[in-house]
Amino acid sequence: MVRVIVNDKEVHVPEGETILTALKKAGDAVPTLCFFRHMYREASCRMCLVELSNGKLVPACAYPVSDGLEVRTDTPRVREARRTVVEFILSIHRIRCWSCPRKGGNCELLKLATAYWVEGIPVCSSCPLYGKDCLVVKGEPCLGPITLAGCGDPCPSNGSPCIGCRGPVTRKDVLEAAAQFYVSNGVELKDVLEVASMFWEGLPNYDALKASLEEAFEKALGGGTG
Amino acid sequence: MRLARVEEVDRVFGHLELEVLKDGVEVKAFFKVTHGARFIELTVNGRPYWEVPYIASRICGACSIAHYVASIRAVEHALGLDAGEWVEDFRDAVNMVQIAQNHLVHLAFLALPDYVEVQGLSDLKSRAGRLVVNSMKLNAACLKAIKLIAGRIVNPNTLGVGGLLKQPFKGPLLKAADYLRECEALAREVVDEALTLLEVPELKDPANNCIAVRPRKTYLTTGDEILTSAGLSFKPSNYKEHLEEVQPEYSNSKAVILGGAPVHVGARARYELLRNYLHDLNIPEVDLGNPFSNLIIKAAEIPYCITAAREILEDLARRTADAVVDPPRDGGEGEGVGVVEAPRGLLIHHYAVSGKRIVNANIITPTEINARHIEASAKALTVSSISDGRPLNADKLQRKLTMLVRAYDPCLPCAVHVSVVRGRMHA
Amino acid sequence: MLNAVKEVVESLGIPSDAVKTVGCTGLCYLDPWLELKAPGMPAALYGNVKPAEVEGILKKYFIENDVSGAYAISERTGKAKGEGNVPTLSELDAWKLQVRYVSRNCGVINPESIEDYIAYGGYRGLDRTLRMSPEEVIEEVKKSGLRGRGGAGFPTWLKWRICRNQPSKEKYVIVNADEGDPGAFMNRLLAESDPHRVLEGLIIAGYAVGATKGFIFVRAEKPLMAERLQKAVEEARSHGILGRNILGRGFDFDVEVILSAGAFVCGEETALIAAIEGRATPRQRPPYPAVVGLWGKPTVINNVETLAHVATLMAEGWESFTAYGTKESKGTKMFCVTGAVKRTGAYEVPIGTTLRTLVERIAGGVKEGRKLKAVQIGGPSGGCVPAHLLDTPIDYESLRDAGAIMGSGGIVVMDDAACMVDVARYFTSFIVAESCGKCFPCRIGTKILYDTLTRITEGKGTLEDLEILESVGKVVKDASLCALGGTAPNPVLSTLRHFRDEYLAHIIDKKCPAGVCTKLLKYRINLDKCIGCGTCAKHCPVGAISRDEKSGKYVIDQEKCVKCGTCVTICPVNAVVKEV
C-alpha cells in the first residue's frame, strides 16, 4: 500500500493505482470527461488535473501514485485550468440544446459550466420539456433557446415560457440556430423581441443583440442552409 | 439643532437614514429613504398587461408574492376578469405562507438582536442558538412549500392574469400542505420562545390611525374593501379620495396621509381592525396603542398563517379546480385597483389598460403608508426622552429610534418603486 | 557546380578520383563551396562558387599556384597565418570561436564512405566501449555530464541507467532524427555529413542499456539525410559493425531506419514511439519510455547530436567533453543561426557561450543599416530574447530565465524589419497546424491564440485580447498533454513579455511599427512621382484609387483600400509607398 496525501488528508491505496483512486478514497472528487475505467485512460480531456507539490498540473486519471505523493484538487491554478478547458470545449461545441437528447438534467457540459462559472449554455439544456411538450414547439415565444441557463428552469417547468431573467446568449451561431428553431415552429421575431425587451432592453449590448437576432431570423426565413 | 441622526439604519431591508431635529420649539423627525429610485411605475408603461406580474414581483425579493398577487388582481379588475374562487383561495394560501416566512426572517434575524442585546447574527446564535436554528428550519420549510405552489422562491410563475399558468395537481398542493403541517409545532415553539425575549419598550402611539383590507373570508385572506380605524370603509378604486400621496424632498419614497394625518398599516393595524375575523390568533396581553407591539402581533401571525395556509391548501386539493389555465390574452379597456395584505401591511396596485398594453400605473406600498407615521412615532419617542431640550442619553436614544423603525419592518426597495421626475410624482 | 568541377578536372588532366564529395561544414553562407589541395600548397577554401567560375578558380590554384581570391586557407594545412590577403580559417571569427567537437568531420570526409570515417578515427569509440562493461560505459557518460541535446536537457546517463535497470529482456534504442523545428538543420547536417558518428553513438547506447535492436526515426521530408543514414547502416552491417558479434566482441545489435511522415509532434518521444507503433499521438508520462516504451518495452530515445557526442566522448574520454561548457552543462552544442544575419550556418560552440558571441561574432551580426531586434531560440516551442539581453549565456537555465528555451538549437535572428507580433503569429500558426488534436488545451487553445494574434495584426485587436493571450496561454502551457502544447504559447508569451509595446501599437494605435502587417499599412501615392497614367486605378480591385481633377494625379482612399499591394507592383514609376 502506498501513502498519498490528498488535500492534507492521508489515504492509502495499492501500488500501481492512479491518483484518481486515491481521490475517490479521500472523498475529493474531480470531474472527468474522457476517463472510462479500464477502457479509455488517455488523459486527453485534461479536466481531472490536480496540482502536485512541485507545482505541476497532472491528470489524476493517468498519473501513478508513489509513496508520499502530495496532491491538491482545488487550487486556483487547477480551477483556472479546468474552467478554461470548459470554455474551450464550449467554444467548439455545437449548441442545439433544445433538440439535444441530453437536455433536462443529463448534460455533463452544463454541470461543468455551472460548477466553474462558465456562461453560454441556454436554458433549454436543463429544461425538462422536450419534443411535443416544448413551449417553442407549441408556438410560444419562450426565450429558453437564447437565455443563459442556471436558474433551474422554474418557469418552463411550470408551463410558463422563459422570460430571460439570466440574460441573453450572445454567440452568433447559437442565435442563428435558435432562429431556425423558432421559425420552423412558427414563432415570430417580433414576439421574441417583445418578451426579450422586458428584461434585456436596459442591457448595454441590447442593440447589438437585437441586430444579431434580426440577422439570424432573416437568414432562417431566407431558407439558408441549416 | 440635531437631536439624533442615524446615517444608515442597519438591520432593515434597504437604505434608510433617520434624523430628528429641533426646529425652534418643535421636534421634527425625518424618514429619509436613501435607497435609489427604481422607476417601476414607468417600466410597466407600454408593456403588455400579462407581463405586469413578472415585473411587479421583482419590486421586492422578500414580498414578491404580495406584489404579484396585487398586480394580477388590479389588472383583472381593469379588464373585468374574474379568476374564480379556487384561484382567489389559492392566491390567499400562497400569500399567507409568504407572510409567515417574511415575519419569521424579520423577527428572528433583524429585530431580535435588539432584544437580546447583540448586534448581529453570529452573536445572536451564541445567545439564542436554538431559536436561530429553529427559525432557519422553519424558514426552509416555508420556502419549500412556496417553491412547490408558487413555482419559485422569489418571483412566482404559477399565476397569471385571469387564472393559472399551469394545470394544478393535487400532489404538489398536498405536499406543500405536508411541509406546513410538519412545521406547525415548530412554529409555535419558535414564536413562544421569541415572545419571551421580546420585551418591547413602551411608547404611546401619537396618532392611532390605521387601515387594512377587509378579508372576504378569514383573517388575511384578500378582499376588495379597505377599512379604517375611523370607522370608514371604501372601495379600493376610490383610494385617491382618501389616501393622499406626498413627496417629501428629503426622501426617495412617497409618503401617505389619510385625512391629512399619518396612518399606519401592518400586523398591529390588522389586529386592531380585523380581529373579529380571527378564530384563534393566540396573542398574549398586548398594548395595541404601542407601535412596538407590531412585533408581537407579527410573531403571532406566523403560526396562524402556517395553519391557515395549510387548511386552504388541503381544501383546494379536495375541490375541483375550476380555474382557467393559460388564460387568453385578449386585452380590453379599463382601470383597476388590486389590494392585498402584504407582510408589512396594505399594498395597492393600480393600472390602466388600453388594448393589450398598460398605459398608466400607480403603486402604494405599506412602507410608504407608514412613512409619516414612523416620523410621528419617532418624534414622540424623542420628546419623551429629552429633558431641558437635550437628550438624556444620545446613544440610547439613537438605538431606541432604530428599534422603533424596525418595529415597523420597513422595506425600502419596495418604497422606492416610484418614478420621481424633478420632484413630480409620476402617477 | 559539381559537374563543372568534374569537367574541368578532366580537362586539366587531374585524376577524377581526386574529386571528393563531402558533407556540409556548417558555413552555409559559403555554399556552394570548394576546397582545393595540391601538394606543397596550402588547402584553400572557395565560397559561393558558380559553375562558370570553376574553371578560373581551378586553373589559378593548380596551374598558377595562386591562392589569392580564396575565401580562406583551411586549417588542416597547419598554417597559423594566412597568405597575402587570404586568412586561415582559424583567424576568422566564424571558425575560431567554434569548438567542433562532434562536427569535426563535417565537410572533411565523404559521408558515404565508412572507410573515410574509420580513417579519420571513426568507430574507436565503439571499440573502446565494447572493451568495457555496460555499467562502466554508463559511468563514463555520467562523468561527462552529457545532457540530451534534443531540447529537454535530461542527463543521458540517467536515462540509460533507468532503462538498463528494467528487468525486460527486450529493449530498444531509438535515434530521434525527426528534427521538426522549421529552419533547424543541425541534426540534418550531422546525419548527412557524418552519419557513421551518429550510428556509432546508437550502437554504444544499445550496448549500454542492453538493447538488441535500434531504430533511426528520420523524416521523409529530409531525403538525403534518410538516404545517408540508410547507407551508413548498410555499410556498417557489411563491415561487421552491425549484426551479430559486432567487432568480434559478442554483442548482437542491428538497426532499422524508419521514415516518418513529417508530423512535428513526432519530435515528442511518446508520439515518436506511437508513430512507430502506428499512430502518432503522445501519451501521458509517467510511465516514461525508459520504463514502458516501444511496444511496452523499455526504450531509450536520444537525439542525433546527443549520440554524436556519445560516440566522440567514448573515443576520446569523458575529460575531452568536460573541457568545455558550464558547471551545470558540460560540452558543446550545435546551433543553426538563420534569419537576418550576414553568415547563416550551423555552428558548434561550448555551452555557456553568449548569444552575442554566436550571433554577432560568429554569424556576423545583422546586415548593414539594420538593427538587431530579437533572437528566437528553440523554434516554435521557444521564445524571443530581446536585443538588450544578448549577453545571456546559452545554457538551459539562463535561457529559461530569459523566457526562452534551449530547444534543439535553432536560432532565428530578427532585425528591425521583423514584427514581433507577426513572428508570434507565424510560430503559433505552425503549432496549430501540427497539433495532434488529442487534448483540448492544445487543439483549441492554440487556435484561439492564433485567431487572437491574427485579429491583432489586422488592426482588430482590443486590450482584452492581451488578457486572452495571457490567460489562454497560461492554461495551454499548464494543462496540455505533451510538450508540444506545453511549449506552444512560448512565442506569444515571450514576445508579450519583451515586446509589449509593439502589441500595444497594433492594438491602440492600429500601427505596425516594423511595417510588416499589411492590413495596418497605408498605401500612399507619392504625388511628386506620380505621372497620372491611371494604371493603378484601373487595376485596383476595389476602386479605391481616383483621379484628383485639379492636379491630374491619383489618390488612394484609405477607407476603401484593402492593402492588396497591386498598385505598388503595377506602378511604372514606383510612386506608391507603404507607410507605417
Among left, alpha and beta (phi > 0; psi -120 to 50; other), residue A7 is: left
Query: What CATH number is attached to the domain comprising C466?
Result: 1.20.1440.230
- Asked if C30 and C67 sit in the same domain, the reply is yes
CB C362 within 8 A of CB C347: yes
What is the pLDDT confidence band of residue B104, given thresholds at 50, 70 and 90? Answer: very high
CB B366 within 8 A of CB B266: yes
Based on the fold, state whether residues C120 and C208 are members of the same structural domain: yes
Q: What is the pLDDT of residue A63?
A: 93
Banded model confidence at residue C77, pLDDT cuts 50, 70, 90: low
Number of compact structural domains in chain B:
1
Give the pLDDT mean for B251-274: 92
Phi, psi torsion values for C44, nearest 5 degrees: -120, 145
Which residue out of C270, C279, C284, C476 would a mutagenesis test of the A interface target, given it has the greatest number of A Cβ atoms within 10 Å? C284
Give, for C413, the enclosing helix (H) or strand (E): strand C410-415
The predicted model gives B363-369 an average pLDDT of 94
Cα distance between residue C200 and residue C214, in whole Å: 11
B151 and A158 in contact by Cβ < 8 A? yes
> Is the pLDDT confidence value at B225 over 90?
yes
Contact flag A198-B47 (C-beta cutoff 8 Å): yes
More confident residue, C59 or B124: C59
Strands (E), B161-265: 163-164, 211-213, 226-228, 233-234, 243-246, 255-258
Give how far A103 is from chain C: nearest CA, Å. 23
Taking an 8 Å Cβ-Cβ cutoff, which residues of chain C contact chain A? 283-284, 286-287, 438-441, 444-445, 448, 471-472, 474-475, 478-481
> Which subunits have 3 or more CB–CB pairs within 8 Å of chain B?
A
The CATH number of residue C151's host domain is 3.40.50.11540
Are the beta carbons of A194 and B48 separated by less than 8 Å?
A: yes
- pLDDT mean over C402-420: 91
Q: Does B151 contact A157 at a Cβ distance shorter than 8 Å? A: yes
pLDDT band at residue A32, thresholds of 50, 70 and 90?
Answer: very high
User: Among C409, C429, C448, C428, which residue's Cα sits nearest to residue C491?
Assistant: C428
Angle between helices B394-408 and B366-384 (to 10 degrees): 150
Residues C72 and C56 in one domain: yes
Contact list in A for residue B166 (CB cut-off 8 A) is: 158-160
| Average pLDDT estimate for B157-184 | 91
Q: Are residues C245 and C293 in the same domain?
A: yes
Nearest to A89 among C440, C475, C480 (CB): C440
The more confidently predicted of residues C474 and C15 is C474
**C569 against B375, higher pLDDT:** B375
Q: Which chains touch C (3 or more CB pairs under 8 A)?
A: A
Most confident of B203-212, B343-352, C376-385: B343-352
Give yes or no for residue A4 having a pLDDT over 80: yes
| In contact, B404 and B291? CB cutoff 8 Å | yes
CB-nearest to A45 from C287, C440, C478 is C440
The bridge status of strand C213-219 relative to strand C251-260 is parallel
CA angle (B206, B209, B210) in 5-degree steps:
135
pTM across the whole model: 0.82
Which pLDDT tens digit goes with each residue over A76-96? Answer: 999 999 999 999 999 999 999
The grid coordinates of residue C276 equal 512507430
User: Is 60 exceeded by the pLDDT of residue B35?
Assistant: yes
Give domain status of residue C97, yes or no.
no
Q: What is the mean pLDDT of residues A118-138?
A: 94
The beta-carbon neighbor of C481 closest among A43, A64, A89 is A43
For residue A88, which residues of chain C lie inside 8 Å, CB to CB? 440-441, 444-445, 448
* Same structural domain, C263 and C119: yes
Supply the range of the domain harboring residue B271. 2-425
Q: How many domains does chain C have?
A: 5
Of C373, C379, C398, residue with least CA distance to C335: C379
Domains and CATH numbers, chain A: 2-83 (3.10.20.740), 95-221 (no CATH)
- Average pLDDT estimate for C73-81: 69
**Residue C395 is assigned to a structural domain of this protein:** no
Residue among B38, B93, B27 nearest B60 (CA): B38
Range of the domain at C375: 332-386+400-415
State which H helix or E strand residue B378 sits in: helix B366-384
Residue-wise pLDDT for A143-154, tens only, equals 999 999 998 888
Per-residue pLDDT, B119:
67
Task: Grade residue B424 by pLDDT with cuts at 50, 70 and 90.
Answer: very low
The answer to whether A43 contacts C445, with C-beta atoms less than 8 Å apart, is no
- Average pLDDT of the segment spanning B222-234: 93
- Split at pLDDT 50, 70, 90, the class of C441 is very high
CA C116 to chain centre: 26
According to the model, what pLDDT value does residue C80 have?
Answer: 63
Q: Could you write out the DSSP letters of every residue in chain A?
A: -EEEEETTEEEEE-TT-BHHHHHHHHT-----SS-BTTTB----S-TTEEEETTS-EEETTTPBP-TTEEEESS-HHHHHHHHHHHHHHHHH----GGG-TTTTT--HHHHHHHHTT----BGGGT----GGG-TTTTT----GGGBBS-S--HHHHTT-----TT-B---HHHHHHHHHHHHHTT--HHHHHHHHHHHHTTSTTHHHHHHHHHHHHHHHHTT---
Per-residue pLDDT at C63 exceeds 70: yes
CATH number at residue B91: 1.10.645.10
Whether residues C7 and C135 fall in one domain? no
Q: What is the DSSP string of B82-146?
A: ---HHHHHHHHHHHHHHHHHHHHHIIIIIIHHHHTT-SSHHHHHHHSHHHHHHHHHHHHHHHHHH
Res A8 pLDDT > 50: yes
CATH code of the domain containing C557: 3.30.70.20
Beta strands A9-13; A2-6: pairing state: antiparallel
pLDDT band at B147 (very low <50, low <70, confident <90, very high): very high
The per-residue pLDDT for range C476-515, each reduced to its tens digit, is 999 999 999 999 999 999 999 999 999 999 999 999 999 8
Q: Which of A107, A149, A158 is nearest to A129 (CA)?
A: A158
pLDDT at B325: 87
Q: In angstroms, rounded to a whole number, what is the distance separating the alpha carbons of residues A179 and A192?
A: 10
Q: Coil, strand, or helix at residue C110?
A: coil
Give the pLDDT score at C203: 96
Give the 3-state secondary structure of residue B422.
coil
For residue C496, the one-letter residue type is: L
Alpha carbon distance C190, C232 (integer Å): 13
**Phi-psi sector, C190: left (phi>0), alpha (psi -120 to 50), beta:** alpha
The ipTM estimated for the assembled molecules is 0.89
Q: Does chain B touch chain A (at least 3 C-beta pairs within 8 Å)?
A: yes
Q: What is the mean pLDDT of residues C38-60?
A: 87
pLDDT confidence of residue C132? 94
Average pLDDT over residues B127-151: 90
Mean pLDDT score, B17-28: 89
Share of residues in chain B with pLDDT > 70 (%): 95
**Is the pLDDT reported for residue B127 higher than 80?**
no
Please, which pLDDT band fits residue B68 given cuts at 50, 70 and 90? very high
pLDDT band, residue B418 (cuts 50/70/90): low
Q: What is the pLDDT of residue A21?
A: 93
CATH of the domain at C379: 3.10.20.600
Lowest mean pLDDT among A131-140, A156-165, C306-315, C422-431: A156-165
Are both C408 and C425 inside the same structural domain?
no
Whether residue C410 is found in the same domain as residue C437: no
Residue contact C286–A63, C-beta within 8 A: yes
| pLDDT beyond 90 at C10 | no
pLDDT reported for residue C521: 87
> Which element (helix H / strand E) includes B28?
strand B26-33
- Tell me the nearest-neighbour CA distance from C485 into chain A, angstroms: 12
State pLDDT tens for residues B383-397: 888 776 677 788 888
Residue holding cell 514584427? C419
CB atoms within 10 A of CB B199: 8
User: Are C226 and C144 within one domain?
Assistant: yes
- For residue B4, what are the β-bridge partners? B20
- Within an 8 Å CB–CB cutoff, is residue A81 touching chain C? yes
* Domain match, C296 and C338 both: no
| Gap from A55 CA to chain C (nearest CA, Å) | 10
Q: What is the average pLDDT score of chain C?
A: 91
Under the banding of pLDDT at 50, 70 and 90, the label for residue B128 is: confident
Residues C167, C137 within the same domain: yes
**CA-CA distance, A177 to B386, in Å (whole number)?**
71
Residues 52-71 of A with CB under 8 A from C: 57, 59, 62-64
Instruction: Specify the range with the lowest mean pLDDT, choosing from B69-78, B158-167, C172-181.
Output: B158-167
Identify the band that residue C161 occupies on the pLDDT scale cut at 50, 70 and 90: very high
Which chains form contacts with chain A, at 3 or more CB pairs under 8 Å?
A: B, C
At residue A181, the pLDDT reads: 96
Give the per-residue pLDDT at C5. Answer: 87
Model confidence at A226, in pLDDT bands (50, 70, 90)? very low
Q: Which residues of C touch A92 (CB under 8 A)?
A: 444
Yes or no, beta carbons of A155 and B157 under 8 Å apart: yes
Q: Report if residue C394 sits inside a domain.
A: no
Q: Are C535 and C453 in contact (CB under 8 A)?
A: no
Q: For chain A, which residues lie within 8 Å of any Cβ of chain B, measuring from their own Cβ?
A: 154-155, 157-160, 163, 165, 194-195, 198
Mark yes or no for CB contact B55/A198 under 8 Å: yes
Q: Please give the Cα distance from B226 to B340 (Å, whole number).
A: 10
What does the pLDDT look like over C114-149, one tens digit per residue?
A: 999 999 999 999 999 999 999 999 999 999 999 999
| Position C445 in a domain | yes
Q: What is the pLDDT of residue C280?
A: 86
Q: Match 568495457 to its residue by C-alpha cell.
A: C132
C299 & C200 share domain: yes
Give yes or no for residue C17 having a pLDDT over 70: yes
What is the rounded average pLDDT of the residues B310-336? 92
Answer yes or no: is pLDDT of B422 > 50. no
Which residues of B are less than 8 Å from A163 in CB distance?
51, 54
Check CB contact under 8 Å for A198 and B165: no
Residues of chain A contacting residue C479, judged by C-beta atoms under 8 Å apart: 46, 49, 57, 81, 84-85
Cβ contact B337:B75 at 8 Å? no
Would you state the pLDDT for residue B426? 45
User: Any residues with CB less than 8 A from the CB of C211 and at least 6 apart, and which?
Assistant: C171, C172, C173, C205, C253, C300
CA distance C433 to chain A (A): 17
Q: Please check whether residue C383 is in contact with residue C427, taking contact to mean a CB–CB distance below 8 angstroms.
A: no
Cβ neighbours for A56, distance < 8 A, ≥ 6 positions apart? none
Lowest-confidence segment of A118-122, A179-183, B364-368, C54-58 by average pLDDT: C54-58
Q: Residue B32 has what pLDDT?
A: 92
Sort strands A49-52 and B16-23 into parallel, antiparallel or unpaired.
Answer: unpaired
For residues C24-38, average pLDDT: 88
User: How confident is the model at residue B423, as a pLDDT?
Assistant: 44
Q: How far is B293 from chain A (nearest CA, A)?
A: 38
